[in-house]
Every structure is written in structure tokens, then in C-alpha cells.
Structure 1
Amino acid sequence: MKETSMNTHMGNITIDNEVIARYAGSVAMECFGIVGMAGINVKDGLVKLLKRDSMTRGINVAIQKNKLTLNFHVIVAYGVGILAVSDNLISNVKYKVEEFTGIEVEKINIFVEGVRVID
């Protein structure tokens, strides 16, 4: 279990990386043009849309020098501008995750793994 911890004047705070990934994933799902998180089968190289309960498998959280790096593997909606969707995702996730955790987000990497037509 990987954790992120920080020291405050009142004591030590430890946050499980899965908590950060789950929160970041829920914020990402609110962004226009994001269909969902992508799960990649390394053996076959296949990409599949993850269900809400396993969404964190499409998000990697790393911390170095008290700064977060988030990697998103996403599937975007057909017909939307990928750059606009990415900019929106980055700004929303950066703001809300920093507000939620109190830890600076240094970098957000977005890997577009597929495109889906929304019904």
C-alpha cells in the first residue's frame, strides 16, 4: 500500500494513494468529453473502458519531494477536441486535488487510450 504523508504543526497526516486516485478520477469524470478511465491489458495490449468501481486502475499516483504526479489513461468522447478536453481535465483536477489534499500537483500526464461514441 503506497501512501502520501505530510507533516504539519499538529502532527503527521498520511493519505493512501488510492484515495487520491479515486478523488482525482471522480473529478476527471465530471469533465466534459471524458467517457471514462482506460484499463490496459499489458499482455494483450488491449484497452477497455473501466467501470466506476475500478476506475482507479486507470490512474497512477506518484509523489516526489512532496509534489504529486498524476497519470490518467482516459477514453474521450468522439467529436470533441482532445486538447480542449485535456486542458479542462488538467485545470479541474489540479485545482480540486490540491484543495482536497493540501499537496501541490506538479504534473498531470494524460494518455488518450481510445475514443468512444456516446449514446
Structure 2
Amino acid sequence: MSVQNGGACMQGAMSTGLGKIEINPDVIATYAGSIAVECFGIVGMAAVNMMDGLTRLLKKDYLNRGINVAIDDKSEITLDFHVIVAYGVGISTVCRNLKDTVKYQVEAFTGMKVKEINIFVEGVRVTD
């Protein structure tokens, strides 16, 4: 079963000797977004307006809106990032760094396996 951020929430769950731990997908999205914007070459998260095809840079308070989180029945996480990258950087290098960093940090934070990370580059911006 796959549920995206913003839809009906299937929470990541794991059992311990003392009980059950459930993690809301919004928590994972917010955490992953905060990691992403710290990665070299990432200007920020993007919100895409499907009606107009317009992309806009999200403010720090709304980073989770640029990320879709799906948690399957094995409590494995799939993340879809919509990002804006800095002009003049190698997109493949930035994306590889983003994937490696987010995978490591999210797995350490949640205790769950990250199955897949998809990155959609929605724009390029000149940074100061």
C-alpha cells in the first residue's frame, strides 16, 4: 500500500519490546526537506502548480510540500523530491549527494528502510 504526503496517512510503524512506534509521513517529509536544503547545490524545495505548469520556491516553513512520502506495508519509505538547483552545478552530482545524504539521515532518524528516492528538478536559480 502506498500513501502520499497530504493524503490519507498510512504511518510508518515498528514494534519494540515496549510497544509500537508510529511515524506520520509529514514528520518524515519535514525532516527530509530540512536535510535537502542543507545539501550543496540545492536552492530549495519546489511547489508545482499542475494547472499552470508554474514552479515556485517554497519557504522554509513549507519544505514538506515539495516532498511526497509513501510508506509501503513493509514500512519501507519512498521519497519524491521536487527541487530547485543552483545554476552552474552538476545536477547529477547534486542529486547523487542528495540521495546519499537523505537516505542515511532518514534511516538513522526513523529506524525504517528507505527503498527509493526520486528527484524531480523543477528549476534552476542563480544564487548570490
CA distance in 2, matches of 1:79, 1:90: 19
C-alpha distance in structure 2 between counterparts of 1:110 and 1:103, whole Å: 20
Q: Which residue of 2 aligns with 1:55?
A: 63
Give the match's secondary structure for 1:43.
coil
Identity %: 62
- The 5 A counterparts of 1:27-42 are 27-42=35-50
Structure 1: 5+ residue stretches without partners: none
Match for residue 46 of structure 1? 54
- Which residue does the alignment assign to 1:100? 109
TM-score between both structures, scaled by the size of structure 2? 0.90
Give every structure 1 segment of 4 or more consecutive aligned residues whose post-TM-superposition deviation is greater than 3 Å.
none
Amino acid at match of 2:29: A
Letter in 1 for 2:32: A
- From 16, 19, 31, the counterpart of 1:8: 16
Aligned length: 119
Q: Deviations over 1:8-38 (max 9, x none)?
A: 2221101111110011011111100000000
Structure 2, gaps ≥5 residues long: 1-7
- Residue 86 of structure 2 aligns to which amino acid in structure 1? A
3-state DSSP of counterpart to 2:127: coil
Secondary structure (helix, strand or coil) at the match of 2:39 reads coil
1:44 CA drift (Å): 1.1
Higher strand residue share: 1
> What displacement does 1:58 show?
0.3
User: Using the alignment, how far apart are the partners of 1:70 and 1:14 within structure 2?
Assistant: 18
Looking at structure 1, the residues matched to 115 and 64 of structure 2 have their Cα atoms a distance apart, in angstroms, of 19
Q: TM-score, normalised by structure 1?
A: 0.96
| Matched residue type, 1:100 | F
Q: 1:118 corresponds to which residue?
A: 127
In 1, the alpha carbon distance for the partners of 2:49 and 2:125 equals 18
Aligned to 1:68: 77
